[in-house]
Structure 1
Amino acid sequence: MEIKTIINEIKQKVEVAGGLKALYFVACGGSQAAIYPAKYLMQSEAKNIATAIYNSNEFVHATPAALGEQTVCIICSLNATPETVEAVKLANKRGAITIAMTGSPETLMAQNGQYKVIYSNGDNQVYSKANQALALKLVFEILHQFEGYQNYEAAISAYDKIDNIVDSAKKSLLPKAKQFAEEFKDDEFFYVLGSGPLYGTAYTMACCHFMEMQWKHAVALNSGEYFHGPFETTDKKVPFVLLKSLGRTRPMDERAEKFLNQYAERFIIIDADEIGLDQIDSSVAEFFNSVVMIPIERFFVYQMSILRNHSMDQRRYMWKVAY
C-alpha cells in the first residue's frame, strides 16, 4: 500500500474516533536516530497534533497515558528487535494505529503492524527509499492530509533529487573523507556535534558508526548544549566532528564552529550546505538534512574502517551473545 493511501485510510479511522491527537515515534538505536528527523518535522510544522519520540523498551515500560485510538504510532526496526515488536503489540492493544517500518515483509514488525512500510537497506540502499526518507514522507503526508501543509508539493518533489545529491557528494568529498580517516584513525574518543534536524544524525555517527561499528568511544552533543558544560573538555588534542545543518538551527552550529576555531585544533566540519542540499526547495530543505547527511557521515567513518582494517560489520556482542 502506498504511503498516500495508508494515511488516507488512517485519516478516515481517526476521524471516527474524534480526530488525531498525537503522533508517536518509537524505535531503538540507529532506527530511532533515522526517524528523529520526521519527529523534528512534525514538532516544527504541526499545528494541532502533538508528537514525541520514545526508545522502544521505554515505551513498553513507561507507556504514555495518552496512547489510544486517537494516536498514530510510527514504529521502526530493520530486523524487528524484540523490544520494538513488543512496542507494536502494546500500541495495538491500547487501540492506537500502528505503522511498522521495517526491512522486510517477513519480519515480526511487518506481521504485527496494522500498516507496514518496507524501506530500502543493505549495501545497495536507495537513499530516497531508506527509513529516514520514508519516515519523513509519512509525516509530510500526515501534515498534508490532516492540516493542508502548504509546502507538500515541494517536499514530494525533493525525493527525485536525493540519490543524485548523495552520490555526487560522495565523489566530491572523497578526498576530505580520506584525509579525515588518515588523521583520526588512531584516536579512541570523539565528540560529535549537531543541532535541530541533524541532532539524530550526530547520535547515529557517535553511537552506531563510531561505537558500534568501529569500537571507538564517542559522545553525541546538541550544538546548543555544548556550551552548557561539555565545552570545558575542549582542547587542542580532543577530536570533534561538527555536522553543520542547513536551516533554522544553523546559527547554533556556527556558534560551535566559532568556538572550535578559537580553542580546538583537531576537528572536522561536514556542512550540509556544501553537499547539494541547496538543490531542494528552500521551504523544505531543512527537513532533508539527515537524509543526505547520514550516508555522508557514514562514508567518512567507512574510510577510517578501511585504513584500520576493521569492517563496519564486525561485532563483539550484537547478535552474538544474550542481552
Structure 2
Amino acid sequence: MNMKPIISEIKQKIESAGGLKAVYFVACGGSQAAIYPANYLIQSEAKNIATAIYNSNEFVHATPASLNEQTICIICSLNATPETVEAVKVANAKGAITIAMTGSPDTLMAQNGQYKVVYSNGDNQVYSQANQALALKLGFEILHQFENYEKYDAAMSAYDKIDAIVEHGKVNLLPQAQQFAKKFKKDEVFYVLGSGPLFGTAYTMACCHFMEMQWKHAITLNSGEYFHGPFETTDKEVALVLLKSVGRTRPMDDRVETFLKEYAERYIIIDAEEIGLNQIDSSVAEFFNSVVMIPIERFFVYQMSLANNHPMEDRRYMWKVAY
C-alpha cells in the first residue's frame, strides 16, 4: 500500500497549522504490539517529532493535553475494538489528524478515521502488508516527508524481502519449533525477554500468543530490566524465551544469553539474525525486527498448540461474555 499520498496530504494540512509536533500510536493488545515498531522508529530517528504509544482506553480516559491539529494519531484495530473506535473519535474531536489502521474497509475504524489503511490479515496474511509492516511504512514516510530521512530508500527496498524471509524462516526453524513444543508443552509459566525493537514482540508472544491463545501464564521482560530484579527467579526449572534482536540493543540480549547459559537450563533463543534479517540493509534492518519476528514467534507457539491439541482460536471469555 502506497503511503506517500496520504502523508503528502497530511503534511499540507499540518504545515498550515504550524508544523508537526508529535505522532501518537494508539491500540490495544496485539494491535498495539504491531504498531510498536513504528513508535520505536520515530523515537529513534526523528529529530524534531515527539512520539508516544498508548493503550486505547487509557488514551480515551487520560487524553494527552498536547493532542491538537499539529498531531498525527495512528490508531489500529483489526475488527474495530470499541475502545479503539472511541480513541479515534477522541483524537478527531481534539483536532488531531487520524489514520485508522484496520482489517477491512467497512469497519467502524475505517468509517471514523480521517484516513484509513487496510492491512492484510487472516490465514493467508501477506506479511509485507500486515499491520506491523504498514505502520512502520507510515513511520518511514513521515520521517521522509517531514525530515528528509536519508535511509528512506533502503527502508523501502526491504519490503520486497520480508515475505521470503518469513517463509524461509518457518521452513528452516520448523524442527526447532517442534522441539520447543515437545519440551515446553506442559509448562504453565513463561518469561519472554526482548529489547529495543523486539520488546513489543515479546509482549505479543507473552500476552497474545501464550496467555490469550494458549491459556499459559507469561511475563514480558525487557532484557535490560532482567538484571534489576527479575533474574533472581531464574533457576533450572523456569521456562524462558529470549527474542534476540538485530541492531543497537543486541548487546543487551547477548548479556541475557550469557547469563542463561550459566544459570538456566530450560530456555530457548529465537534470533532475528538467524532468521535472515541480515538480508535487509544494515542501516535499517533494526526496525524490521518485529515485522519478521512476530510471525516466527507465533509459529513456535502454534507448534505448541498442535502438541497440546489446543487451537489458537479457542477462547474462554473474549467475544463470549460481557467485559
Would you say same fold, with TM above 0.5? yes
Partners of 1:156 and 1:318 in 2: how far apart? 37
Q: Deviations over 1:18-50 (max 9, x none)?
A: 000000000000000010010000000000000
**For residues 255-281 of structure 1, what are the alpha-carbon distances to aligned partners after superposition, in whole Å with 9 as ceiling and x for unaligned?**
011111111000000000000100000
1:1-323 alignment, distance < 5 Å = 2-323=2-323
Q: Which amino acid aligns with 1:232?
A: E
Say which SS state the counterpart of residue 203 (structure 1) adopts: helix
Distance across 2 between alignment mates of 1:69 and 1:19: 9
Structure 2 CA distance for aligned equivalents of residues 2 and 75 of structure 1: 18
After superposition, give the CA deviation of every residue in 1:162-190 in whole Å (9 maximum; x if it has no partner): 00000000000000000000000000000
**Could you tell me which amino acid in structure 2 is paired with residue 91 of structure 1?**
A
Structure 2: how far apart are the matches of 1:47 and 1:226? 30
Count of matched residue pairs: 323
Give the structure-1-normalised TM-score. Answer: 1.00
Q: Tell me how far 1:3 sits from its aligned partner.
A: 1.0
Does the residue aligned with 2:149 lie in a helix, a strand or coil?
A: coil
**Amino-acid identity (%):** 82
Q: Which runs of 4+ in 1 moved over 6 A?
A: none
Deviations along 1:75-116, whole A, 9 cap, x unmatched?
000001000000000000000000000000010000000000
For residue 2 of structure 1, report the CA deviation from its aligned partner: 3.2
| Secondary structure at the counterpart of residue 105 of structure 1 | coil
TM-score normalised over the length of structure 2: 1.00
Any stretches of 5+ residues in structure 2 without a counterpart? none
Q: Distance in 2 between matches of 1:135 and 1:222?
A: 22
Q: Distance in 1 between matches of 2:270 and 2:307?
A: 20
Specify the SS of the correspondent of 1:23. Answer: strand
1:204-231 deviations in whole A, cap 9, x for unaligned?
0000000000000000100000011100
Provide the secondary structure at the position in 2 that maps to 1:164.
Answer: helix
